[in-house]
Structure 1
Amino acid sequence: MTAREAMPNAFVPGKGDLPPEDAVLVARRARALGPAYRLFYETPVHLVRGEGVWLYDAAGEAYLDTYNNVASVGHCHPRVVEAMARQAATFASHTRYLHETILEYSERLLATFPAELGHLMFTCTGSEANDLALRIAREHTGGSGIIVTENAYHGVTLAVAGFSPSLGPGVPLGEHVRTVPAPIPALGARTGEVFALGVQAAIEDLARHGIRPAVLIVDTVFSSDGVIPDPAGFLAPAVAAIRAAGGLFVADEVQPGFGRTGAGMWGFARHGIVPDMVSLGKPMGNGYPVAGLVLRPEVVAEFGARGRYFNTFGGNAVAAATAAAVLDVIEAEDLIANARSTGAYLVQGLRTLSTRFPALGAVRGAGLFIGADIVTEGAPDAALAHRIVNDLRAARVLISATGRTASTLKIRPPLVFAPDHADIFLERLEGVLAALA
């Protein structure tokens, strides 16, 4: 089996029932973009338009988006689009000129964080934000060791891909990287204790090899490990362990941030901790490339004294105006409360379905970030998860799978997802499960 075939939920050239016009597009992609890109689903979706929680293909068919965290406040939200266009038509340049918009946005965003986190540095992607976090951590700690979970994903730069094991065996980990088992929610109150033991073992292994730890970095809902948000508070012992060893804790909020968990703006807050750095990405601009790193001033002081930081497009005026509009929408439409209530409604619906369909195992969620295990006789079943994902695509619902065995449905719709959308999803999932049963 090739690496392309082994990748979960990926189109394999030569397979799938492609209409002729889409086969032409696939061939053009291969010629123009090369071999490293992937398309979702056995039969790729040719999308041409988006609105709210819906995406539309070239034939005008509507697909319910239960996966997309990029357009976090809804595809093509008019308030965000208008702010983007207005600023682009007024002034668009980088951060080396004085300009109010970046300052107004930065002050407003920082006000959503604990007071200890006082600076914001802009990048274009979450990958860049995590790369910058590593540079700063090495400067601050004098260490180089990196601790991540076994199936973590943190980005695609050279450094960050080296601590993103979910990219697969074709992307080797760095020699200063140590992986630890993902948290085990079934342990309940002992989840944090056991996870911290894994982190401590990684710290000790680094020490045996003469390596000082620099960071423990985790996505605070462990989305690539199968979506593990609970029990709330379990991260605190691991954070204490890395700090006791002289390292820093980085909360990767690219996926759980901006209200997705329904318990405030940031996923780490559910654990009662204050990170040393927080990386931000995809949902920050609702599709416009803006990202950043929020951090304690003392962590970046030496880094800033020794050198300069500049990113041509990071924090440009259009990015700042667009990101500010995203905050406007989150507040005006009360999307954090919606994530909490609609997420709870969807989790309950999934658990009700699981009583009728044994293939639907444990359901875990925080707000509108939900993982549902797919099992056969209680064991993870990646092949069945793959079938469900593709059968849902045929039913015009877009979703994916996650976890070390890719056997967990990853449900992460735009934050404007409402109970009536949840009902559509549950109805179509029920149809798929019934047909497979």
Structure 2
Amino acid sequence: MNGSLTKEQTLNLRKQFIGPSCTLFFKSDPVKIVSAKGQYMYDEEGHEYLDCINNVAHVGHCHPQVVAAGVEQMGQLNTNSRFLHDNIVLLAQKLVSHLPNQLCMVYFTNSGSEANDLALRLSRHHTKGTEIIALDRAYHGHVVSLIDLSTYKLDRMIDGVHTKPDFVHIAECPDTYRGKYNTASNPNDDLATLYANNVEDILDNIAKKDKQVCCFIAESMQSCGGQVIYPPGYLTKVFQSVRAAGGVCILDEVQVGFGRVGTHMWSFSTQNVVPDILTLGKPMGNGHPLSAVITTKEIAASFEGCGVEYFNTYGGNPVSCAIGLAVLDIIEKDKLLENAVKIGKLMETKLNELKEKYTLIGDVRGLGMFWGLDLVKSRATRAPATDEAAYIVSRLKEEYILFSRDGPDENVLKFKAPMCFNKDNVEHLILKLDKILAELTSNKEH
């Protein structure tokens, strides 16, 4: 790097040359990060921030084994996947070893968006169907095919140019706290069945129009939609209905895979299902662009049968695959799933203690290293406390803790830290959250 810029210079150049729709965290006073290590990030003045939001730096920022793997391979060879190379097959083999037997054919891509777009292509060629069912609040990527079915983005567009196509059908988000069917409005009902019946109704309507369902696509747990954990049995019921109608089931683990839930390598295992197509991304390369689509032999054969080869210039290149292998090795060697279970239990206890203390917290939900605090103005009405969530995120930044908020009302505090997050980090985070929640309570009283 030739010299360095002041924060003001960087901001000015960004305003001059970077598209204005590319936004920053903490818009009023962005953080200029110049280095990172483990679960910590450092600004240009040397301040250390505890990172609670980077599920991309899965095994920790700048992990020396990941860095070494990339540097070594980059110094030796980087080329496309039309040449034979060990890394691509070794990474595919390693990934498949962590998956149910039927998920055994791998396609490498460079981003979650690429992976999900390819998953749609695979499903179309296999089923010959056109109709796609996605969940409300979903976010699957930034390319046109995925914005079509990501209401998290689509619903926020105000110019009327990009609207949902007729072949996309949006099912209710199975949010048991804030969804159409919830623990307040339906206290004695089987919420999984109610939400699954909604998908069944969509399938019936598709059939009545003489259309063929192509796929059902969902995140195994919704992240951008508000850290949503589906009711037990929901995906089982949905998968049965979709497959009976001739469709395939795609699960997007771009944000929630690779052991984030702790108890399993893949979040879909918590629902006791196996998708027909699985997409992976973000944490897979620990910050390096790397993603994948994994499917069955039957679906892969249908894709081959379309008559057009699949080639991705950078997908499966030797450097990316070397890094992917290093990430998987670290997950095992550093026992990061076990750490996620341990930290998850501590987070659950501590966050629920805060909930008992502060009525601003309406719901605590999560697993392992994936948690959400749903903030409410009133527990009776569950009205979203959007301003309060913004205040907490801003104040945490002042305490050198990086946090974010999301969901349709931006009132859900999101925790999705690097997997090396430890007990001392949890205690520090809870101490600061307690302090800030007390401030809010005091301000409200006065």
Q: Does the 8 A contact of 2:365 with 2:372 survive in 1?
A: yes
State the partner residue of 2:168: 177
Q: CA deviation at 1:191?
A: 2.8
Deviation by residue 1:307-344 (Cα, 9 ceiling, x = unmatched)? 20010101100011000000010000000010111011
Q: CA RMSD in A?
A: 1.6
Q: Which residue of 2 aligns with 1:34?
A: 19
Number of equivalences: 418
Deviates more, 1:420-429 or 1:232-241: 232-241
> 2-side partners of 1:239 and 1:396: how far apart?
43
Aligned to 2:348: 347
Report the Cα distance in structure 1 between the residues aligned to 2:69 and 2:361, rounded to whole angstroms. Answer: 42
The one-letter amino acid of 1:26's match is: L
Report if aligned partners of 2:174, 2:195 keep a CA contact under 8 Å in 1: yes
1:115 aligns with 2:106: no
1:251 aligned onto 2:248 = no
**Following superposition of structure 1 onto structure 2, how do residues 387-402 of structure 1 map, counting pairs within 5 Å?**
387-402=391-406
Encode CA deviations 1:95-146: one digit per residue, 9 max, x unaligned.
Answer: 1111111111111110100001110100000100000010111111111211
Deviation at 1:206, TM superposition (A): 3.2
Residue 7 of structure 1: aligned partner: none
TM-score scaled by structure 2? 0.90
Q: How does 1:369-408 map to 2 (within 5 A)?
A: 369-378=370-379, 379=382, 380-408=384-412
Residue 118 of structure 2, aligned match among 132, 150, 153: 132
> Which residue does the alignment assign to 1:5?
none
SS, match of residue 321 in structure 1? helix
Shift of 1:208: 4.4
The 3-state SS of whatever aligns with 2:152 is helix
Q: Deviations over 1:381-404 (max 9, x none)?
A: 122112211221222111111222
SS at match of 2:309: coil
Moved more, 261-270 or 162-171: 162-171
Unaligned 5+ segments in structure 1 are: 1-19
SS of alignment partner, residue 417 of structure 1: coil
Partner amino acid for 2:334? E
TM-score, structure 1 normalization? 0.92
Partner of 1:3: none
Amino acid at match of 2:274: V
Instruction: State the shift of 1:26 in Å.
Output: 2.5
Sort the Cα spacing of 1:366 and 1:230 in 2 relative to 1 into closer, same or farther, 3 A: farther
Question: Does 2:44 match 1:58?
Answer: yes
Could you report, residue by residue, the CA deviation over 1:70-101 in whole angstroms, capped at 9, with x for unpaired residues?
10110000111111111111111111111111
Matched AA of 1:218 = A
**Cα distance, 1:189 vs structure 2:** 7.6
1:14 alignment partner in structure 2: none
Show the counterpart of 1:282: 282
After TM superposition, the structure 1 = structure 2 runs for residues 150-161 of structure 1, keeping only pairs within 5 Å, are 150-161=136-147
SS at match of 1:223: coil
Pairing 1:135-150 to 2, within 5 Å after superposition: 135-150=121-136
Code of the aligned partner of 2:141: G
Q: 1:335 to 1:189 in 2, by over 3 A?
A: farther
> What do residues 22-63 of structure 1 show as CA deviations (whole Å, max 9, x unaligned)?
343233112211222111113211111111000111111111
SS, match of residue 224 in structure 1:
coil
Structure 2 gaps of 5+ residues are 177-182, 442-446
Cα distance 1:361–1:47, how it changes in 2: closer, same or farther (>3 A)?
Answer: same
- 1:188 to partner: Cα distance: 8.5
> Residues 176 and 211 of structure 1 are in contact (CA less than 8 Å); yes or no, is this contact kept in structure 2?
no
Separation in 1 of the partners of 2:74 and 2:405? 37
Q: Which stretch shows the higher mean deviation, 376-385 or 170-179?
A: 170-179
Measure how far apart 1:21 and its partner are: 4.5
Secondary structure, in 3 states, of the residue corresponding to 1:344? helix
Q: How high is the sequence identity, in percent, across the aligned residues?
A: 36
Q: For residue 183 of structure 1, give the secondary structure of its aligned residue in structure 2.
A: coil
User: Which residue in 2 is equivalent to 1:201?
Assistant: 201
1:30 aligned counterpart, secondary structure: helix
Residues 347-398 of structure 1: CA distance to partner in whole angstroms, max 9, x if unpaired? 1101101111111221111110011111111222122112211221222111
Distance between the aligned counterparts of 1:227 and 1:429, measured in 2? 18
2:63 to 65, 72, 77: 77
The runs of at least 4 consecutive aligned structure 1 residues that moved more than 6 Å come to none
